[in-house]
Structures are given as structure tokens and as C-alpha cells.
Structure 1
């Protein structure tokens, strides 16, 4: 089912109203468990809901949901993990995730919170990566990925707090690594992994309109007051975003209906391809992940809520 969110530009509309609030015992009502082969070729075995529950990879309480990985058993065929995908498809709006914990900064891991235009048409419907990193990273990577014909500016009114890394959103852009897309690195040194957890977590937000895609990170002690769940929210009062994807891009054309995804994979196309920083712990990514279950005990998500506004 495709759910059409408001296409009115937020500079005209002063605030967003709550559409969905996934939290606590209701969280999984909005998601399906993906148990197929990892599209990013990770060393992972995604579990069905029944299998994830039986292995204690998922635990729901009144206030939060735990989504983890197998940290007890060796895994010669790939480590058991969870990937959930929203039942609904979304186009535009405001997406806010409050996390008490994300997978820690551990060699072999590749956790992500993202959206993508699935149904076998990637990248024609685009991809938006809100939280992503690998190995021992402690700084979050924001990015968007598209078919040919989308780039961003990064200057003047299009600036952001984060460090702009790449300008061309096309996955095959010349002069950029394959599938780099448009990329921005967060300004906070504790926006990802272990230091994020040590600080009590925080909130990530993504605003998607016909004119731009913007992303914010708020540590626990700096969450905007209008995100207290009591009413409408207005990103115009949140200050400069961490990432501002805006420029020579037809966002309505390049980004179609998207599924929301939260997952933890291992190795694969990114983490497996850049293992040099982790060679001190093992000769290759797959072998390390297979034989060292105990190091992944902290490789879990603790989600307080996901709220979607229109």
C-alpha cells in the first residue's frame, strides 16, 4: 500500500502533524521481517520474526524495542541478525527516530537506518541513508543515492553543519567511488556507535520535500522541545541541519515511494571491502565475524520510537 504524504513545501506549511507513532509494543505492527539474501551481500542470515524471537534477537517492552544479533554462537554460514522493513511506502514527510542505543563501534558491523525505493527498481526510485557506518566508526555518514541526473550544491543557502564529501548522487558518478552517491559526514564525533551510546543516545530526523532532503542529529541533551510528542513539529526551528541535499535535482522524479529499513549486516559490499582498519583483529571480515560471537553483544538497536509526520 502506498501512503501519499503531503507534498507541500515546509517553508509554506509551518508544521507537521503526526501520522504514525511506532513505539513499544506497537512498534512491530508497522514492519515486516526480511529473511531473504542480503542485497548488500553481507555475511549475515536475516531471521524471520518467529526465529528472531526464539533466539532473543527481538524483545519488545512498553517503552522500547530491542533488535540485536546472535552474539553467543559461532556462525560459519553468516551471523544471525534482523532486518525490518516498513509495511507502508512513503513519499515525502518528516521521519524521526529516537534511539537509546545503536550497534557499537565494532569491526565487521554495518548497521543502517534508511529508506529505499524497492520493488526491484533500485536506484531508479532513490535511496536515503539517515544512519550508517561500519567497523569502529564513531561519526555518522548521511547519504542519498540516485539514478543519473541528480547532484547537490553544498554552498550558500544549501550549506549544512556536516562535512560534504561527494556532490553527485548518481551511483555511477565519474570521479567518485562506486555507489558513493551524495555524502555528508556528521559534525559530531559522537554521532555513531559506541560514543553515541555512552552519551545516552539521541534523535535522528529526516525531512523530505520536493525541494530538498535534510537531516539532523540531536544528542539526548539537545532534542528540540517540539519533539516531546505533544503536538505538531516545525523543523524550521531546529537550526542548520547536519546534511542538506539540495541543488540540481528533481526530487519528485528521483525519489519515489520508499520503504523504511532498519538492519545490522556484516562485511558485505562496504564493510567487507575496506577491512584494512580492522586487520589487527583478523585477516578478513567474514572469518572474524564467524568466529568471534562475543564481540557483537553490543551490536543492537534500542528504539524508543519512530514517528512519521505529514
Structure 2
């Protein structure tokens, strides 16, 4: 896939912003997604578990140029492990960034990791259990998301994403033009932001839902004890729930998830041809800095009072990113 420049015609307003895509997926040599691990089973049958026992064998570490033009240097798997940016802690997985180097703001950027699952999925229930997510820090733009190989024609679902000092998560769909989701039956607790059409701006703008929970993202999420994001992707819609750790339903903990018992989701997208617009999506983690979203809105945040340049701030403040890391208990993928 080519990484042509993302076109942004207008400055984006922080927090209620059009969420730029976390970035097209990276498919080496034009290859398609690997679906060899996907098995057909009963409703909500477990397909895959990702945890400290198998993480490095089930993800590709992508030492690529950032498709979203961030001030970041994604390192390869060997470098990531040597630098301590990717490691297991017991059965948990740590993915972080360089927190010691003072950099040239015109240089390659802060070292970080970007991982994409080798397996891809078509309609699934994805349950991600986080002990810690990247903190709410000026300049940072972390994301946990899914993407198809032919972006935007095979779609993108940003499950967890935000920038700078935000504590409210934003869930966003990116697609080819013509997917204009309604709110599905039962409603949603979040509020719609940005565009009605998930294909707006050629897919770059997307259609989003901002969580109404002030502990759904970043530092506040961590202070609240971590938690779970559960995403149900079916032919008729995409729903995303957030649960603080103490509120995670027992049927998730027991490995017998029942979304019908979880109450109103944060986001409830319906009324689009989800089979056509979202296909063969893999799981991606990354932490970038500045770039096409965080960089564009820098001037509208209090962060710009510290330094007028996002890149310069990130370059000069390594200690500010000590909590810019993921600590993942597990990701479980169930068929639907």
C-alpha cells in the first residue's frame, strides 16, 4: 500500500474533532491478510487469545514510516526488545516509547512501536483487557484499532483513540464513501461528532462517537483501575462498550461473553452495509506523536502554551512520556 500524504483541508477542533485515521494498515509486498488462524465455531466461540504467552508470534512489529506523519520512529522487533519498548511482564504485554532521549525536533522522531496482528477477521467480538493505556500527555496520539488491507475500501474501526490531555475516548469508523450509520436499536451513551458519512474526505475524516465517560481514556482510565473495551462487529452493526475494571461483567471474566446483558454501548453504529465496507480487518496498536491529528490541533490546546511546536515539545521532554505505554492483560477474539 502506498502511503500518500493525508489531505487535511481545515484545522481540526480539539476534542470534538474529526478524527483522522489511526493510519492505513501495512501489508508487505501487497500481500493480503492472514486468516489462517480464524476458525468457524459456535456463537461467541473463542477464535484467538493474545497475551504474554504468544504476543510476539501473533503480531508483526512494523518498522515503517508513520502513515499519519507523526514525529515518531517505529523500530523493528529486535530494536524494540533491546530498548525495552516491547516486552512481557508475567502474562502481560508492555508496549512503550523512548523516555530518555532528548531529540532534534527536525529529526526522525521519538522511538516507539507499531504492531499489527498476523490474523485478520470478518465479523467478530473483540474483547481487550487493559491494565494500563498510554497516559494523557501533550503531543501523544495512541490508538488501538482494526483495519483492512485495501484502505479505506475494507474499513477501519478505531476502538480506542485520542490525543494530548484528553480523558474521553473517541470511537471512529473510516470507510469508503456511502456508509452513513444511524444509531442502532437500544441507543448509545456517547455522542456523535464530526461527519455523518464515514467515507467523508475519502475516508480520512471518518464518523465518530465521543464517550461520555471522563475515565474512558488515558490517565483517568489508568487512575480508575484499567478496564475492558469490547467491540461487537456483525453484519448489522458495530457496537463498542467500555467497562472500568471493577465493572467488567462476570460473563466476560468467565470467557462466556453475552453482549445482550451489557447494557447500552458507548457507540452503536447501524444502517450501513457493514459486510461490504468492513472486511479482513487486523488488530493494530501504536503510539505516535503530533502528526495529522495531534499536530494539527496542537495550537488549540493548553499544550501550546508550554511550547508553540508539538514536535519541539516531544523532542525536548522525554520524561513526559514515562506513562505512554500499553500494558495489556489479553485480547480475546470470538466469532459471531
- Give your verdict on TM over 0.5: yes
Task: Give yes or no for contact 2:186–2:264 (8 Å, CA) kept in 1.
Answer: no
Cα displacement (A) at 1:172? 1.7
The reply on whether 1:233 has 2:262 as its aligned counterpart is no
Task: Give yes or no for contact 2:183–2:268 (8 Å, CA) kept in 1.
Answer: yes
Of 200, 221, 225 in structure 2, the residue corresponding to residue 171 of structure 1 is 200
Aligned to 2:218: 193
* Residues 201-212 of structure 1: pairs in structure 2 closer than 5 A: 201-212=226-237
Give the whole-Å Cα distance in 1 for the aligned partners of 2:166 and 2:130. Answer: 17
Aligned to 2:22: none
Task: Give yes or no for contact 1:130–1:206 (8 Å, CA) kept in 2.
Answer: yes
Task: Give yes or no for contact 2:252–2:258 (8 Å, CA) kept in 1.
Answer: no
The reply on whether 1:267 has 2:290 as its aligned counterpart is yes
Aligned to 1:90: 121
Give the whole-Å Cα distance in 2 for the aligned partners of 1:271 and 1:127. Answer: 19
Task: Give yes or no for contact 1:7–1:210 (8 Å, CA) kept in 2.
Answer: no
Give the whole-Å Cα distance in 2 for the aligned partners of 1:112 and 1:158. Answer: 27
Cα displacement (A) at 1:6? 8.3
Cα displacement (A) at 1:3? 5.0
Residues 282 and 147 of structure 1, relative CA distance in 2, 3 Å threshold:
same
Q: Which runs of 5+ in 2 are unaligned?
A: 1-33
Give the whole-Å Cα distance in 2 for the aligned partners of 1:281 and 1:224. Answer: 42
Aligned to 2:278: 255
Cα displacement (A) at 1:265? 0.3
Task: Give yes or no for contact 1:115–1:259 (8 Å, CA) kept in 2.
Answer: yes
Aligned to 2:171: 142
The 3-state SS of whatever aligns with 1:261 is strand
CA deviation profile, 1:155-178 (whole Å, cap 9, x unmatched): 7x26201112242211327xxxx8
Tell me the number of residue pairs that the alignment of Structure 1 and Structure 2 aligns.
Answer: 296
CA deviation profile, 1:206-259 (whole Å, cap 9, x unmatched): 11111001100000110010111x443221111111101111x11111111111
The 3-state SS of whatever aligns with 1:271 is helix
Q: Which moved more, 1:146-155 or 1:183-192?
A: 146-155
Cα displacement (A) at 1:136? 0.3
Residues 5 and 244 of structure 1, relative CA distance in 2, 3 Å threshold:
farther
Task: Give yes or no for contact 1:154–1:164 (8 Å, CA) kept in 2.
Answer: no
Residues 254 and 158 of structure 1, relative CA distance in 2, 3 Å threshold:
farther
The 3-state SS of whatever aligns with 1:72 is coil
The reply on whether 1:154 has 2:175 as its aligned counterpart is no
CA deviation profile, 1:38-78 (whole Å, cap 9, x unmatched): 11111100011100111111120222111110000113220
Residues 222 and 237 of structure 1, relative CA distance in 2, 3 Å threshold:
same
Q: Which moved more, 1:157-166 or 1:108-117?
A: 157-166
Q: Which runs of 5+ in 1 are unaligned?
A: none
The reply on whether 1:22 has 2:55 as its aligned counterpart is no
Give the whole-Å Cα distance in 2 for the aligned partners of 1:29 and 1:309. Answer: 19
Cα displacement (A) at 1:21? 1.0
Residues 162 and 3 of structure 1, relative CA distance in 2, 3 Å threshold:
farther
Task: Give yes or no for contact 1:112–1:263 (8 Å, CA) kept in 2.
Answer: yes
Give the whole-Å Cα distance in 2 for the aligned partners of 1:237 and 1:294. Answer: 42
Cα displacement (A) at 1:154? 2.2
Give the whole-Å Cα distance in 2 for the aligned partners of 1:90 and 1:137. Answer: 30
Cα displacement (A) at 1:19? 1.1
Give the whole-Å Cα distance in 1 for the aligned partners of 2:39 and 2:47. Answer: 11
Task: Give yes or no for contact 2:143–2:287 (8 Å, CA) kept in 1.
Answer: yes
